[in-house]
Amino acid sequence: MLIELKNVSHIYDDGQVTEALRNINLTIREREFIGLVGHTGSGKSTLVQLLNGLIKPSTGTITIDGLNITEGKTSLLGIRRKIGLVFQYPEHQLFEETIYGDVAFGPRNLQLEEEEVEIRVREALELVGLDYEEFKDRSPFNLSGGQQRKVAIAGVLAMKPEVLILDEPSAGLDPQGRQQLINLLEYLYEEKGMTIILVSHRMEEIARLSNRVIVMSEGEIIFDDRPEKVFSEVERIRQLGLDLPEITEILWRLNKKGLQVRTDLFSLTEAVEEISKELRGAEPC
C-alpha cells in the first residue's frame, strides 16, 4: 500500500476563497505510524479527507496503490475499503438499533456476504475490547461515552482497512479511556500490521507512538521526519504555537541549564534513567 500526493492544493470556495492546502507532496508507505500535528485550521483535516476521497483536490494528484483517485471514474468504495477514517467524536455517528447493526454498516456497504459480515463484526468488537455476545444486541445509545467510541471505532475496523486514520480519537476521554485507546493503536500497528495516521494535539501520544511526525501550518508541511528530529526543533515548534511533549520539554530545559542529558527520549523510564545517570555523574550545576 502506497499513498502518493503530488503537488496537491485545495481551495475552499465559500464566498471568500481560503486556501486550505498548498502544494503538498507526500508519500505514505506501508507500516508507518504517522503522527499528524498542527494548529486547528492548519489543513490537517483537509488532508485527511483528501486521503479518503471525501473531497477532491483543486489541483495535483493523489494515487493509492498506483490508482489515481483524483480522476473522475475511480471507485471510491474501493478506496474506503483500504483507508479507514475515524472522525472526531465518532460516537456521534452511531445510528443503528443494535451495536451489531452499526458495526455491520460498513461491511454491508462493501456488499459482503452476511457470514463474512458477522465474522468481521465479531472480530472488530473484540479488537476494541467489547465482548461480542454481551454487546451485539444492545443498543449503542445506552452505553457510556467511552464504550460508544469503541463501537464507532469498531465500525471502521470492520471494514478491514489497510490504513487507519484517526482524528483526535482520545478527545474527551478520561485517563483510563485514553490509555485503552493507546493500547489499541499499538496493537493494530504492531500485531495487525496496519499503517496508522494519528491526528492529535497530545504530543506525548504522538511522540511515543509514531515513527514519523508531520507538522502542518497554514496549509503547508513544515516538518516531516522522525519524532526525535522533529521535536528537537524546539524553537520552531513553539513558534508554530504547538506544544512539545512534556518529557522533551523537561529534558530540553535541563539541557539548556547545563545538565548534559539527551533530549530525544520520549518514555518516562528512559528519561528518568538518563537524568539520574547524569545527575550522579556530574557535579551539581
DSSP secondary-structure letter at 240? T
CA distances from 145 to 142, 173, 179, 180, 254 (A): 9, 8, 15, 14, 40
Which residues make Cβ contacts (< 8 Å) with residue 104, sequence separation at least 6? 96, 117, 118, 120, 121, 158
Residues 11 and 20: beta-carbon distance below 8 Å: yes
Nearer to other proteins, 155 or 189 (CB): 155
Q: Least Å distance between CB 99 and other proteins?
A: 14
Site for other proteins in 16-75 (CB under 8 A): 16, 39-40, 49, 52, 54
Note whether 145 binds other proteins by CB under 8 A: yes
Distance separating alpha carbons of residues 136 and 138, to the nearest angstrom: 6
Cell numbers 504522538 correspond to: 206
Interacting residue with other proteins among 81, 122, 138, 236 (CB under 8 A): 81
As a 3-state breakdown, the chain gives helix, strand, coil percent values, each rounded to 5, of 45, 25, 35
- Total of residues contacting other proteins (CB under 8 A): 60
Nearer to other proteins, 9 or 191 (CB): 9
Distance separating alpha carbons of residues 177 and 205, to the nearest angstrom: 13
Site for other proteins in 191-250 (CB under 8 A): 201, 204, 241-243, 246-247, 249-250
Interacting residue with other proteins among 93, 183, 239, 267 (CB under 8 A): 93
CA distances from 150 to 11, 61, 261, 262 (A): 34, 34, 39, 37
Interacting residue with other proteins among 31, 65, 71, 77 (CB under 8 A): 77
Residues that bind other proteins (CB under 8 A): 12, 14-16, 39-40, 49, 52, 54, 77, 80-81, 84-85, 87, 90, 92-95, 105-106, 109-110, 141, 144-146, 155-156, 159, 171-177, 201, 204, 241-243, 246-247, 249-250, 253-254, 257-259, 268-269, 271-272, 275-276, 279, 285
